[in-house]
Amino acid sequence: MTDPAAQARNRWYIMVAIRLVATAGAVFAVVLAARATDWRLQVLAGAIVLSAIYMGWAVPASLAHRWRTPGDAPKPKPYKTRR
């Protein structure tokens, strides 16, 4: 098996790389929108920006959730009752 510290570091690098790719996609879409001469390209650029923002937020969060160790699962809070 691999070293847990190295595995955690590699997973962190993967999440940072995904965020960088999403940021690059959003910048590409903004440049595309600025140079667009047709409204269809502007709509496409807007869709790319929105999907890049969503990808930069959702994918690292889902990977972190998937890679969470079983002991790190959040414990449910007890319900508060009025007396």
pLDDT by residue (tens digit) across 19-54?
A: 999 999 999 999 999 999 999 999 999 999 999 999
Residue type, 63: L
Distance CA 65, CA 72 (A): 10
Whether pLDDT at 72 is above 70: no
The answer to whether residue 70 scores a pLDDT higher than 80 is no
**Confidence band for 4, pLDDT divided at 50, 70 and 90:** confident
The verdict on pTM exceeding 0.85 is no
pLDDT in the model for residue 50 = 96
